[in-house]
Amino acid sequence: MMLSWENLIGHAATVAYLKKNIAEEKFPHAVIFSGAEGVGKRLAAEICAAALLCERPVDGAPCGECENCHLVAAKTHPDFYIVEAEATKTTRNIKIGQIRAMQIEAALRPINSARRVVILDGAELMNNAAANCLLKTIEEPPSQTIFILLTASRSSLLMTIRSRCMTINFDRLTAEQIRDALTARGVENSEAQRLAVIADGSFGRALKLKDSGGAKLREAALDTLEKISRAELSNEEIFKLGAQMAEWSRENFADFLTHTQKILRDVCFAEELEPHNSDLLSRLSKLKISERKIFLMIETGAEFHRRLKSNANLRLLAEAYLMSLRKAAVSG
């Protein structure tokens, strides 16, 4: 993707601020981009890197044509360094070895440009040793190096790191911004509208949902609840659904659970809270389940979210969940 500010969705005031700082050569030496997953922090950081390393930046924007711009976009620029979490089977984290390797590079004189830029994506995923190691560099940064830390959980960073970095907040995107960006990518209008509503302000999540059939999972959740509320969910139906769900990934099943929980909350708190599924209100109003039963159903969902983390067989788990949900809905 072209590293151009025009490709970043939303964040107009933040972008203006970043461009001004770059143009005036006042970009901070260590900065935290804080905001939810998928709102554009990484793209913004890469555009900053390109603009900071570009030979002919224009008002804080990379020219997009010089060698440095091309090398940053290709992630092969010798003065541009990215640290990312490494995933193992069970966890994702940034290890001290990765920070040490980065520090060796960051201390070198820049090769192509006047400075170096380091992006640390997922800063909250540093373990303690890695964070303390990074702290030493942030305390006495090499004069020519700029550090951009990205995090979805600023409060889990060391206080000492937070206090030495300027923080720039990236808000959640509006549903309209996400919808427009999706339609610009060729997603059909009504589908874009549905995805935008359930993406919860994250364009990255909207794209993921699009690829995983996220809107379909929500529809499956609502369809199941409608059957339960009409007492039409038979054992036979449950076994059929269980067989279908056994083909899903665990992540998809977790999303199905989450959609079910959100729908139940919407039904229960329709008067008090901003609904998660504002586009479904007329269908939601037809779900006739008492408040007490809905609480039981939400508890059931929380319980199965926990059980999903074990290695339980997905088909058995899905069947047990649907049985428990139905039981909660008919309990006296």
Contact set with Zn ion (CB under 5 A): 54, 62-63, 66, 69
Q: How far is the CB of 50 from Zn ion (least distance, A)?
A: 7
Contact 79, 111 (CB under 8 A): yes
Q: How far is the CB of 55 from Zn ion (least distance, A)?
A: 5
Q: How far is the CB of 60 from Zn ion (least distance, A)?
A: 12
Q: How far is the CB of 12 from Zn ion (least distance, A)?
A: 23
Measure the CA angle with vertex 88, ends 84 and 94; round to 5°: 30
Q: How far is the CB of 79 from Zn ion (least distance, A)?
A: 13
Task: Read off φ and ψ for residue 246, nearest 5 degrees.
Answer: -60, -20
Q: 54 or 102: whose CB is closer to Zn ion?
A: 54
In eight-state DSSP terms, residue 110 is P
Contact 165, 28 (CB under 8 A): yes
Q: 5 or 256: whose CB is closer to Zn ion?
A: 5
Q: 54 or 175: whose CB is closer to Zn ion?
A: 54
Q: 62 or 301: whose CB is closer to Zn ion?
A: 62
Q: How far is the CB of 58 from Zn ion (least distance, A)?
A: 9
Rounded Cα distance, 92 and 223, in Å: 35
Rounded Cα distance, 197 and 277, in Å: 7
Q: 8 or 284: whose CB is closer to Zn ion?
A: 8
Q: How far is the CB of 62 from Zn ion (least distance, A)?
A: 5
Q: How far is the CB of 24 from Zn ion (least distance, A)?
A: 18
What is the distance, to the nearest Å, from the Cα of residue 179 to the centroid of all Cα atoms in its chain?
17
Contact 38, 181 (CB under 8 A): no
- Is residue 222 helix, strand or coil? helix
Q: How far is CA 178 from CA 190, 195, 206, 248, 259, in A?
A: 13, 8, 8, 26, 19
Q: Which residues contact 118 (CB under 8 A, 6 or more apart)?
A: 81, 82, 83, 102, 105, 106, 145, 146, 147, 148
Judging by beta carbons within 10 Å of its beta carbon (0-12, 13-18, 19+), is residue 11 exposed, middle or buried? Answer: buried
Q: 35 or 62: whose CB is closer to Zn ion?
A: 62
Rg (CA), the chain: 24
Q: 54 or 131: whose CB is closer to Zn ion?
A: 54
Q: 54 or 289: whose CB is closer to Zn ion?
A: 54
Which is nearest to 114 in space by CA: 77, 139, 83, 82? Answer: 77
